Amino acid sequence: MTLIPHPPQRALPLHREMERVWSRPPGLKGFLTSVNHSEIGLRFMALAGIYFGIGGILAMLIRTQLATPQGAFLDTALYNQIFTMHGSIMMFLFAIPMLEGLSMYLLPKMLGTRDMAFPRLSAFGWWCYLFGGLILLVALAAGMAPDGGWFMYTPLSSRTYTPGVNADVWLLGVTFVEISAIAAAVEITVTILRLRAPGMRLTQMPLFAWYMLGTSAMMLAGFPPLILGSVLLELERAFDWPFFDVARGGDSLLWQHLFWLFGHPEVYIIFLPAAGAISTILPVMCRTRILGYEAIVAAIVGLVFLSFGLWVHHMFTVGIPQMALAFFSAASTLVAVPTAVQIFAWTGTMWKGTPRLSLPMLHLLAFFATFVLGGLTGVMLAVVPFNWQAHDTAFVTAHLHYVLIGGFVFPMMAAAVYWLPLMSGRVRVRGVGEVAFALIFIGFHGTFLIMHLTGLLGMPRRIPVYPDNPEWALPNLISTLFSFMMSIGFVLFALDLLLHALFGRRSTRDPWQANTLEWKMALPVPSYNIAALPVSTDITAVSLARGEGALPGAPRGRREVLAVSSLDGKAQHVAVLPGNTLLPVVTAAMVGVFVLLMLFGAYILACTAMLGVLVCGWTWHRFGRDLRPARIEITPGQTLPDQTGVEGSLTRSGMIALIIADASLFGSFLFALGFLSVIAPGWPPPDSGLGLGALLLGGVALGALAVASGLARWSRGPLPGALAGVLALVAVLGVALLLDDPTRHARDALRAAATGYAALHIGIGVLLALIARTRAPATAAASRSIWRLWQDFTLITVAILTLLVVAQEVLS
């Protein structure tokens, strides 16, 4: 279907009409209620910048302590907290939120739409990030911060060796922030697949969107193992369920597996968006087109998969059988190939073009110099014999900083300088940025290049003093001196941004002559992005501002965008997005109260906070209840239905993405179950005593779930389906009562956790059925299809869990 654009209108009235609908109220009320992607994206980036500053200050404290062999600057307990918080902040509170913010800010603009698919989810994610981060920071200020290292290995982080709340702060605070990451991954996925400009095929979209699609897929699959690990460890710490206790059938290595199942893909989750920024900025700086678009997309696909086959290389020294060492080593070296494909594509782009050495390009050159070195030391560490020598030394610290600062921070600084005119409508004040760049580049290499040598000389990570090793003193002192140079550089970089915001001249539109879609917006970008959605590639900024495209203005007083098919971008329906609301902040606050009550051991009260979350969830779905099915003219002569009558709604796509994350969580649980039953000592466990009663109740639960799944396919099914769900829930709770004491053995703890998983899913299924029930039949298609998806997933997972328990009983 070729869409013919609307004829031009007067730009100013159109702008005012759009602003009335898309802008937010001024002041605190607007701050609390805004769901706009530009504002939320900027907030993510600003807060991530603040956390980066805090993490950087902690790094300086560490370097000061290590400047001399007998540093007396920090005592050991505080030092432990500081290096733990440095790593945790940089990973969880800086890198991931920064990439989320950048993609939230840019994606709708690059894809030619007006907002993310789920604006309230964006805002909810930001509030979760704020509250979760505050919990960690307050704990640091109160001297109760986590102190077991940023990967929280058990048994050090178990109750026996960390009796205070330090580890709980990490487990609950980070999980809180992870909720934000999953929320972002869901909506990034749906936005890229369903909200592109009409006619934009997947293979035509900007490379940045491909990179973010890969990143969000990795987040959906990669974060759940950590969430599961955190939940299991918190259950062990709070209720003594022995998942990681070797004496009772647990295994501390399970934590390492779950952590690195997340932790290694995490490196690529951080790198891919930065690579997306490079692939966008580099051709503009070189005044040419990117070389090897399809090869880069293939490299992204390769990285997304291969990066999940490397996690064990973080555990080469724990006692892994030789063959497993061999194939994890092979995968670790193979992953360098898709990375190299991108490096060659970028190098070829520079070779083909005419590079200009402006500030973004300087940062990109620094990226090449740094990241390639980090990649090479990564290949060294992938080789088992070398890994055994360098494991847990300063060599690894140097390697990871080359990869993360080279592969993320330099590209992000390039991105900041490149896209700032879009955000502020101003151009940079020349001079300060260049000095900042020089200080950061020289300071970084001065700090970390020599740290490789420190590591090869045998200095372990995370030690506060080294009085018996005078040979480490000079390299450490050099690292410390250069680290302060780097810090001054980062302060100047922040000053550059401030000067830009305060004194920068007004920018012309598209100051880099990029000619890409995001630069076709007015500067600074208005709340609605574009007055009309582009329907062809030969659009201009003026034509978009005059409404020459699809869905111009906001004549119905609603926030409307076009939903398209995922592959070819064919327009499918008009999606109405929610406006400003307090719901995200209230829901995040409820989750925050839940986390705090858990932290202080008030578990009963925490359940009441969960009820508050449920009430918020119920209120959440009320948006759109008043919509009635209608056909809307998107271009002259072309009408499409709105979302009310369609089954393939954005929410359904979001539910599919969420179920992928849930399936990853479930898969991680199956891994934990398999790992403990096969590897952990102390198996087989004592007799369970589960008998016919449990079997019957399990059968009733499965039968009721099967009935609910069947009813979910029937238009009058929601109420009976909800009742069937309640019956299943009662049966599962009955099974729970028959289980053995979960503190007795890891097998019993796993069964209790599986029962909790099943009960939670059945409960949500009941809620979704009731939501479908509240909708009028003509508008209930989307709600029913979402409930059906969830119900089917619940049925499958509960059936698998039941079969596994039965198999355990039969085989034991």
Partner 1 sequence: MIWLLRVIAGPLVWAAGFSAVYALHGIGCARGWPGVITPLGTLHDGALIGALVVALIAATLIFVRRPRPPMAPEDRLIAYGAWIGLISVAFTLFPVIAVNTCSVTGT
Binding site for partner 1 (CB under 8 A): 201-203, 293-295, 297-298, 301-302, 304-306, 308-309, 316-327, 330-331, 334, 338, 384, 388, 566-567, 674-675, 678-679
Q: Of 296 and 535, which has the nearer Cβ to partner 1?
A: 296
Q: How far is the CB of 760 from partner 1 (least distance, A)?
A: 26
Q: How far is the CB of 235 from partner 1 (least distance, A)?
A: 24
Alpha helices in 621-745 (DSSP H): 650-679, 692-711, 718-738
Q: At what angle do helices 781-811 and 746-774 cross, to 10 degrees?
A: 160
Q: How far is the CB of 517 from partner 1 (least distance, A)?
A: 19
Q: How far is the CB of 324 from partner 1 (least distance, A)?
A: 6
**C-alpha triplet 577, 580, 584: angle, nearest 5°:** 95
Contact by Cβ (8 Å): 232, 753: yes
| Residue 713: CA count within 13 A, CB half-sphere | 6
Q: Cis peptide leading into 155, omega within 30 of 0?
A: yes
State how far the Cα of 254 lies from the Cα of 671, in Å rounded to an integer.
9
Task: Determine the residue type at 237.
Answer: R
Q: Of 138 and 567, which has the nearer Cβ to partner 1?
A: 567
Q: How far is the CB of 316 from partner 1 (least distance, A)?
A: 6
Residue 639 per-residue DSSP state: E
Q: Of 338 and 443, which has the nearer Cβ to partner 1?
A: 338
Q: Of 297 and 414, which has the nearer Cβ to partner 1?
A: 297
Q: Of 64 and 566, which has the nearer Cβ to partner 1?
A: 566
Q: Of 305 and 344, which has the nearer Cβ to partner 1?
A: 305
Alpha helices in 712-780 (DSSP H): 718-738, 746-774
Q: How far is the CB of 572 from partner 1 (least distance, A)?
A: 14
State how far the Cα of 447 lies from the Cα of 809, in Å rounded to an integer.
57
Q: Of 141 and 678, which has the nearer Cβ to partner 1?
A: 678
Three-state SS for 550? strand
Q: How far is the CB of 208 from partner 1 (least distance, A)?
A: 17
Q: Of 61 and 301, which has the nearer Cβ to partner 1?
A: 301
Contact by Cβ (8 Å): 483, 74: no
To the nearest 10°, report the CA torsion of 104, 106, 107, 108.
90
Q: How far is the CB of 331 from partner 1 (least distance, A)?
A: 5
State how far the Cα of 651 lies from the Cα of 772, in Å rounded to an integer.
13
Task: Determine the residue type at 660.
Answer: I
Q: Of 299 and 432, which has the nearer Cβ to partner 1?
A: 299
Q: Of 294 and 468, which has the nearer Cβ to partner 1?
A: 294
State how far the Cα of 759 lies from the Cα of 766, in Å rounded to an integer.
11
Q: Which residues pair with 533 in a beta bridge?
A: 550
Task: Determine the residue type at 520.
Answer: K
Contact by Cβ (8 Å): 536, 517: no
Neighbour tally for 776: CB within 10 Å: 10
Three-state SS for 479? helix
Q: Of 325 and 767, which has the nearer Cβ to partner 1?
A: 325
Contact by Cβ (8 Å): 433, 359: yes
Q: What is the phi-psi region of residue 551: left when phi exceeds 0, alpha when psi lies from -120 to 50, beta otherwise?
A: left
Q: How far is the CB of 327 from partner 1 (least distance, A)?
A: 5
Which of 697, 784, 770 lies closest to 738 in space, CA to CA? 697
Q: How far is the CB of 216 from partner 1 (least distance, A)?
A: 14
Q: Cis peptide leading into 411, omega within 30 of 0?
A: no
Q: Which residues pair with 157 in a beta bridge?
A: none
Q: How far is the CB of 349 from partner 1 (least distance, A)?
A: 18
Residue 777 per-residue DSSP state: G
Q: Of 203 and 774, which has the nearer Cβ to partner 1?
A: 203
Q: Which residues of 321-342 are buried (b: 16+ CB within 10 A; e: fewer)?
A: eeeebeebbebbeebbebbebb
Q: How far is the CB of 338 from partner 1 (least distance, A)?
A: 8
Q: Of 429 and 656, which has the nearer Cβ to partner 1?
A: 656
What φ, ψ does residue 412 adopt, rounded to 5°? Answer: -70, -35
Q: How far is the CB of 812 from partner 1 (least distance, A)?
A: 15
Q: How far is the CB of 673 from partner 1 (least distance, A)?
A: 12
Q: Of 193 and 724, which has the nearer Cβ to partner 1?
A: 193
Three-state SS for 515? coil
To the nearest 10°, report the CA torsion of 113, 119, 123, 126.
-50
Q: Of 257 and 761, which has the nearer Cβ to partner 1?
A: 257
Q: How far is the CB of 352 from partner 1 (least distance, A)?
A: 19
To the nearest 10°, report the CA torsion of 657, 662, 664, 670.
-160
- First-to-last CA distance in the chain? 62
State how far the Cα of 679 lies from the Cα of 746, in Å rounded to an integer.
12
Q: Of 484 and 675, which has the nearer Cβ to partner 1?
A: 675
Contact by Cβ (8 Å): 583, 32: no
Q: How far is the CB of 608 from partner 1 (least distance, A)?
A: 41
State how far the Cα of 149 lies from the Cα of 396, in Å rounded to an integer.
14
